[in-house]
Structures are given as C-alpha cells and as structure tokens.
Amino acid sequence: MTSAPYASRERSTKERILGAAEALFATHGFAGASLRQVTAAARVNLAAVNYHFGSKDKLIEEVFRRRLDELNTRRLAALAKVAGQEDTSLEDVLDAYIRPALDLSRNDGGGAAFVRVLARAYAEHNETLRKFLSENYGHVLRQFAGEFARLLPGLAKEEIYWRLDIVTGALTYAMADFGVIQRKNDVDERDHRETAAEHLIRFAAAGLRNPSVSTSTATR
Amino acid sequence: MTSAPYASRERSTKERILGAAEALFATHGFAGASLRQVTAAARVNLAAVNYHFGSKDKLIEEVFRRRLDELNTRRLAALAKVAGQEDTSLEDVLDAYIRPALDLSRNDGGGAAFVRVLARAYAEHNETLRKFLSENYGHVLRQFAGEFARLLPGLAKEEIYWRLDIVTGALTYAMADFGVIQRKNDVDERDHRETAAEHLIRFAAAGLRNPSVSTSTATR
DNA sequence: CGTATTCTCAAACGATCGTTTGATTCTTAC
DNA sequence: GTAAGAATCAAACGATCGTTTGAGAATACG
C-alpha cells in the first residue's frame, strides 16, 4: 500500500514493538519486562527488536522520544498562549504544564501507559536515562520557570526551581496513579485523572503562592 | 562472644544482607539488583539469602519491614504529641508526618537508601508489594487523615485523602532526591533534604488549607 | 524479468538469573 | 569428648536473559 515493506499489517513492526514495550515497561519496569514478553505482545519475531532498534536500551530511548516530543510541544504551545500577558494567573501556567500530560494520558491507548513509564524513569536511577530525559525535558522546565518567576516576583529563582520540582514530582505521582488511595470502582479512570489534575493545580498554585521565608525550621 | 553462631563478625549475616540489599535495591531496583550482587556486597555466600530468608521476595519484604515499623512508630508518636490539642497547627501535623522520614534518611547509613527503596515501591506495580505496604502503611495514613479532618473541618474526608495522597507522593519524590534539579555540589546532602522538607511542609500546608471548590474545571 | 535490498524467522549463542544440593565448618549442649 | 544442630561454602541446577547468526521470504528497482 504505502512504501513500507512487509506492509499492510494493521501497524508497522516498529510501531507495534513500541506500543507493546510501552505497556510492558509501565507494568513491569525496564528491567522487569523482557524482550521476549515485548515481542510476544507485539506478535513479532524476537530478533526484530535488535534489527529495528539495535538494542534494548535504544528501544527504551525510542519509547520516550516518541511521546516526549509531543508532550513538550504541547506544553510549550499551551505556555505560549498565556506567557507574558497581564491577565495570566498562576493557575493558567500550571494548567499549561499539567493539562498536556493529562490529555496525553487519555487520548489514545498508549498515552496512559506512557505516563506510568515516565514515572518509572524518575524512579529508575539509570544514568543514561536521566541524562536523556534532562536533555529533552530541561529546556521546557526552564521556560516554565521563567514564566513562574514573572508571576511570582517575590520568589528567588532557586526557590522557584525547588517548588517546581515538588510540583513535577507530585504530578508524576498523581498521574501515574501510584497513590495508596484506590479510587472507587464506579469512578472512571478519566474522571479519576481529571479530578487528580484539578486538585493538583489548586494544590500547586497555593503552594507556589506561599511567600518565601527566611532559612529556619519550618515549624514553630 | 554473644549467642550468635559464627559470631563476632562486625554484624550478623542477616543484617549484612539486609543492608546490602537495601542499598542495591535503591540503586538498581528490585528486579535490577541480583542476589549475586547483594551477597557479594554483603561478603556472604550466595546461598545465604535463601537459607536465612527463603527467597528473594521474602528478602524484599524483610527490607521493608525493618525500617517501616520504625518509621510508622515514630510518625504515630510524633502525631500523638500534637493530636487533639487546641493550639496544634497544620504545619505541626505535617511535620509529624514528614520529619520522621527525614530523620530516618540521615540517621545511619542505611536509612537514606531506604527512602529511595520506598520510592521504588511506589513505582513498582508489584501487587504483592503493594498489598504488603498497604497493610503496614494504611492505618498510619488513616490516623493522620483523622487529625487533618479535625483541623480542616471545611474539607470532606475524601478530599483530604486526595490531598494527602498528593502530599505523600511529593514527599516520596522529594525525599528520594529524584528531582531533575540537581543540588549544588557544595550543599551537603543533609542540608538538601532539610531544605526540601521545609519547602514541602510549607507547600503542603498551603495546599491543604486551600478551600474546597465545587466540581468544575480547575482553571477559568 | 532478475538482482539487490529489506525484512522476518527459527535457532542458537554465552551470560546471568533465582534456587537447590551436599559436603564442610563452626557452635551449642550434655 | 562427642553427638546434634546451625551456618557457610563451592558447585551445579534449569530457566531466562539480551544478542547474534544464517537462511529464507517479501519488497524494491533496474
């Protein structure tokens, strides 16, 4: 049909591998999911992974690149709509940061799994992965930090990075549905994530607005 | 010397295994750290793990039980000092929740590693582990939720669990030092965690105090 | 058409995994 | 001192891991 060889399968071999890898990495982790599980789920030959991607590590990187590029683009696009304007609120910027991740998690079948994979990446101490994420994620974080600095002139730049770090951690945690609290069975997964995002935005906004204090113990 | 057989080593075989496992699980994850790595780091024989613990899964459970019991006890003790009193502030209760984890992370050599292991447990989807953690962690969370409910009469019980879930996620994230922001090299690890705890307490308090809103989109 | 290239496939590679075995060494108790 | 028990050890078990191989099937291109 198109130019793809061995074509006219429902999806190409590379895409099927990426989809299966994403789902299995989310469930069992990078070390816990084997290439035999991945290729079996994708209904492709075992050797296809090393043929199309070179190695398991390269496959992991490709799983990230596919979604992360889109997530970063959406976040920056949402930020561009509100950045620098007078009537922009803190909630608007936080929404630009959180909403794309929420949308990603419910658009197609694989997005929800990727959010969990993203949380894995933070938990894994893999230096290669950390470096890869920092390169693709760092400039987005920097742009958001710049806008937050504009809206929060009372906070030092370093303080903003601190708080943004907490927000990102809480976001990753909430989005990945790693809470101890298990949602009721009659509540849909979408509603669950939507509610989580609403709470998180209000929570984060209140935390970011909190005025900075001098270096002392937090209590008493 | 004492009653321990093969004794008068610096520490017993079981404790050496637990310590080495804790450190390696924190660095490489449960699936990523092998028993050969663990036993080599502990300078014990490979078969010692299955002899003393029965299996790798049982070893993982024991790594958690050792620290989690102490963490839960400290948290409940700290909560008991401020619970039910008139002049208790939200920051006090949050401090009772966060401070023990901070102390644990810097007391001895293994505590800091365990906090990272704890974060791993949230990331791992292992059902056995989740169940184990829920059993040892659930009643503590419930007691804190009760005290928060007293201090925040305007919030529904379910709303409090939501926000506490976010706090726990952010705490785990911050404590495990999983941020993208890397601290300056001249800042000590202890100061780093202390600063993180201060930020987190102020952040969480502001987020918890935020009045509840009706079910609508968070922004606009 | 025929040749070249791309892709798939079954099979096997060596390495490593968790676990088990059986002999050996140390400790305890009478 | 000696038997019973607990702990350690080297070695091997079968299973699974990521990766490689070489032949064969499907496609592309002249």
Residue-wise pLDDT for A197-212, tens only, equals 788 888 889 888 877 6
A214 interfacial to chain B (CB closer than 8 Å): no
Domains of chain B, each with CATH number or no CATH? 64-209 (1.10.357.10)
Q: What pLDDT was estimated at residue B220?
A: 39
Residues of A within 8 A of B123 (CB-CB) are 29, 119-120, 122-124, 176, 178
Distance, CA of B112 to C1' of C20, in Å: 34
**Which residue numbers in chain A have pLDDT < 70?**
1-10, 107-110, 125, 177-190, 212-220
Taking the C1' atom of every nucleotide in all shown strands and the CA of B51, the nearest one is D7
Q: Which residue is nearest to nucleotide D6 (CA to C1')?
A: B5
Nucleotides of C under 7 A from a protein CB: 6-12, 16-22, 26-28
Show the 3-state SS of chain B: CCCCCCCCCCCCHHHHHHHHHHHHHHHHCCCCCCHHHHHHHHCCCCCHHHHHCCCHHHHHHHHHHHHHHHHHHHHHHHHHHHCCCCCCCHHHHHHHHHHHHHHHCCCCCCHHHHHHHHHHHHHCCCHHHHHHHHHHHHHHHHHHHHHHHHHCCCCCHHHHHHHHHHHHHHHHHHHCCCCCCCCCCCCCHHHHHHHHHHHHHHHHHHHHHCCCCCCCCCCC
Q: Average pLDDT over chain B, rounded to whole? A: 82
B152 interfacial to chain A (CB closer than 8 Å): no
Q: Which residue is nearest to nucleotide C5 (CA to C1')?
A: A5
Q: What pLDDT was estimated at residue B109?
A: 65
Chain B residue with Cα closest to A160: B199
Q: What pLDDT was estimated at residue A8?
A: 39
Q: What pLDDT was estimated at residue A207?
A: 87
Q: What pLDDT was estimated at residue B187?
A: 63
Over chain B (220 residues), the average pLDDT of each successive run of 10 is 44 93 90 94 96 95 92 95 94 92 75 83 74 81 94 90 82 67 59 77 86 48
Q: What pLDDT was estimated at residue B7?
A: 43
Q: What pLDDT was estimated at residue A182?
A: 56
Chain A residue with Cα closest to B184: A158
Q: What pLDDT was estimated at residue B173?
A: 75
Q: What pLDDT was estimated at residue A151?
A: 95
Residues of B within 8 A of A162 (CB-CB) are 181, 195-196, 199
* Protein residues with beta carbon less than 7 Å from any atom of strand D: A 3-8, 33-37, 46-47, 49-50, 55-57; B 5-6, 13, 44-48, 51-52
